[in-house]
Each structure stands twice: as C-alpha cells, then as structure tokens.
Amino acid sequence: MAQPLFGPGKPLSSPLYMASVYDVGDADTCDAVLGNETPGFAYARDAHPNATHLAGHLATLEGAAWAHITSSGMAALSAVMLSLVRPGQQVLLSNRLYGKSTVLVRQELKRFGVESAVIDACDLDQVANALAAGPRLFLVETLSNPMLRLVDVDKIGKMCRAQRCKLFVDNTFATPILLKPLAHGADLVMESLTKMIGGHSDVTLGLVAGHDPDLAMTLGKVITTWGFTADPFPCWLTERSLYTLDLRMRTATANAAEVADFLAKQQGIVQVVYPGRPDHPDHGLACTLLPQGAGNMLAFEVPGDRAAVNRFLQAGPIPLCPSLGHATTTFSHPASSSHRADSPAGRAAQGITEGLLRLSVGIEPVDTILDQLSRHLQAI
C-alpha cells in the first residue's frame, strides 16, 4: 500500500516538486482544478506547489493580499504591462529605471501602440504635470541605480490615486525588508528575486504583488498564457533564501553604512553616493522612508579614466559582476554595463563617469570588506 505523502513525519522544509504534470484522478477533478474551483495542481505552467509556497511567503512579507512568481524580474514587469495597458494608453516612466524596463515600454510596447513619457520622479511638479495627461500606469524604482535616488512613494501614491493612475513600484534595491511600497500607496510592487532576495546568485526569478483581487486574476491569466511561469527549482532555492533574508539585509545594510563612511575618509576618492549619508540629495527622505537603513548598495568615484578603473579593479579581490545582491561584496561599473547603451552625454547628465563604481555590499564581517577595499585603494 502506498504511504501517505504527509502526516507524521511531514518534512520541515518544503519538498521540491520537480514535476510538470500531476495525476488529477478523474475528469471531474481535472475540470475543477483547471477551473480554479478546487485547490490542487494539474499542469506546472498554470501552477505548482513550489511557486505557490514561495508566493505565499512573499505576499506576507510585502503586506500584500496576493503575489505571483514569474520566471524573471523582466517577466514580472512584462506581465504587469500586458495586464494593465491597452493600445493608445500611456505609461509614465521614471527617468532612472533599470535599462531593460525602459526598453520594454519605449520599444517593445510601442510596437503594440502603447504611448509613453519619461519624467524625473524626484521632481513632484513634473509628476503632477505628467499625471494630468491621464497615464494608465506610473513605473518608479524606490532606490535608483546607480545614484540611489529615492522617490517619495507616499506623496506620489496620493497624486496617482487622485488621477486614477496605477502606481507600480520596482522595489528590487530596497527589498520588502527595508520598504513595503504597498503600505505607502503603491498599487503594485515588483521585485527581481534574482538579486538580494535570492541572495546567492543562483536563481533568475521575479515577483509581482498587490491588493486588488481582480488584478490578481488578470495577472495570473497573463502569466500562464504568455508563459512567464517560473520553474520549481529556483522557487525552492528562493524559499530557502527567505529564511535568512532579514538577517542578510540587516547585516549588509549595516556594513554598507560603515563602508560608505570609510570610503568618504579616503584620500583620492572623488565622491561617495549613499543615501544614509547626510551629503546625499535624498538623505532626508531616506530617514523617513527607510528607517531601518538605506540598503546595501552604494557608489563611489575613483579619479581617472577607464585604465585607472581597471587598475583599481585588478588591485584587489572584490569581483566585478554586472548584477547585485550576492552574499559577498561585488563591484559593478555602470559606464560599461548597466548604462553602456546611454550616450556619453546621457551618462554625464546622470553623474555616471568612467570612474564611478557601484558596490553591492555583502554580509562578510565588515573588517574583511574594509581590508579588501584597502587593497583596491592602493591602486589610486
């Protein structure tokens, strides 16, 4: 006789359900499961236990009524756009978005007749003017890359509500540990789980979460129909990462604050960009919006050209990786990676010089990070 799957001896950690299809028993049950009338699983592109478990944990963490897991952060962004926007409608974009988010709306959605406008989300007069044109959706990032500008989610949330525009927040750099945008007036939040939430550079995955049950249904249909579903294994790995997310974010944030102050004291560093420091333009907003700390990301500028940056990178052990959120500290170089498609003038306007480096601060003992950075600094 087959043993019951669970009962006494139920595993404490979630099993990995590496299955694309399920035995549904009979035609009535099949009908009911596929029609969402009975809980259960039939086909993994529609739903599977590892995504459902992970979504449940993350919905709680975001303070959301529901959450959907997608195969990447970009899949989450695409799913929201395809769920909410029709040809002829306008999407409003912050001018400091992840590069591919802007490409998604300005190039891909444009092929389907979707209009867009780009504004400075830190300038509330510009926001008010742009909202008067009646956009369907406004996409902002809580903390921007790489200059770590903050948006006033509460104020923009109120302004969007008054104009019946949906506020969609990419919260990847803050994570729900530091900020829960839905509690500050956002209608929808997305996270690239590939970054701090996954936390070990071994998954590509996304999340979208919100309150509105109708939107949950629409998004669910878009995700399963367009095929944005995530595989079980990365969902399982990411559920495992959630046990340490709070610890990792707190430690990395505390480390970043120390590293920023350390760098600011070094001879030869041109500038340090960290919203936790009083010399950052959004320091005041950071104190109110991010009371637990300004996150694990910072940027700083070394003097000189590309050759000087290469010498700096080669002088020590911290690796150059065009991503963020690993458990250990990594560099990225915006001019040659995230912002390489921008014109030199466009980069200059954002303060992105050849010497600007971004640091994704990890959870090592802070002295280890400072020692490693000191070795790089000898190249200056």
Ligand X SMILES: *Cc1c(COP(=O)(O)O)cnc(C)c1O
- Which residues participate in catalysis according to the annotation? 45, 98, 170, 195
70 or 312: whose CB is closer to ligand X?
Answer: 70
H helix count then E strand count, the chain: 13, 11
CA dihedral (319, 360, 146, 62) in degrees, to 10, reads 140
Smallest gap, in angstroms, from Cβ of residue 151 to ligand X? Answer: 13
Binding to ligand X (CB under 6 A) within 153-192 occurs at: 170, 172-173, 192
CB 169, min distance to ligand X, A: 10
- Taking the least distance from each CB to ligand X, the nearer of 24 and 64 is 64
Interface characters, 97-126, with ligand X (x: CB under 6 A): -x--x-------------------------
Buried b (16+ CB within 10 A) or exposed e, 229-238: bbbbebbbbb
- Closest by CA position to 365, among listed 327, 308, 321: 327
Q: Does 337 bind ligand X (CB under 6 A)?
A: no
With CB atoms as reference, the residue minimizing the distance to ligand X is: 73
Q: Which is nearer to ligand X, 98 or 274 (CB)?
A: 98
Instruction: Read off the tokens for 41.
Output: 């699983």
Give the separation between CA 335 and CA 209, rounded to whole angstroms.
Answer: 32
Which residues have CB under 8 Å from 97's CB, separation 6+?
139, 140, 141, 144, 170
The correct pick among 74, 80, 245, 361 for binding ligand X (CB under 6 A) is 74
Residue 83 makes CB contacts below 8 A (sequence gap 6+) with 215, 218, 219, 222
User: Alpha-carbon Rg of the chain, whole angstroms?
Assistant: 22
- Sole window of 68-76, 155-163, 227-235, 285-293 interacting with ligand X (rule: CB under 6 A): 68-76
Q: Which H helix or E strand runs over 272?
A: strand 271-273
Which residue among 49, 135, 181, 206 contacts ligand X (CB under 6 A)? Answer: 206
258-292 burial, b if ≥16 CB within 10 A, otherwise e? ebbebbeeeeebeebbbbbbeebebeebbeebbee
Stretch that binds ligand X, among 18-26, 57-65, 71-79, 272-280 (CB under 6 A): 71-79
Dist. CA 60–CA 44, nearest whole Å: 23
Closest distance to ligand X from the beta carbon of 205 (Å):
7
Tokens of 228: 């944005």
Among 48, 96, 195, 376, binds ligand X (CB under 6 A): 195
What count of residues does the chain have?
Answer: 380
Q: Which of 203, 50, 145 is nearest to 337 (CA)?
A: 145
CB of 142 to ligand X, least distance (A): 9
Output the smallest distance, CB 216 to ligand X, in A: 21
Task: Quote the DSSP letter at residue 105.
Answer: I
* Residue 72 in contact with ligand X, rule: CB under 6 A: yes
146 binds ligand X (CB under 6 A): no
Compare residues 192 and 255 and give the one whose CB is closer to ligand X: 192
Contacts with ligand X: how many residues (CB under 6 A)? 14
CB-nearer residue toward ligand X: 248 or 376: 248
Q: What is the residue type of 284?
A: G
Nearer to ligand X, 47 or 139 (CB): 139
At its nearest, how many Å lie between ligand X and the CB of residue 324? 6
SS3 call for 359: strand
For residues 70 and 328, which CB has a smaller minimum distance to ligand X in the complex?
70
CB of 17 to ligand X, least distance (A): 22
User: Which residues make up the interface to ligand X (CB under 6 A)?
Assistant: 72-74, 98, 101, 141, 170, 172-173, 192, 194-195, 204, 206
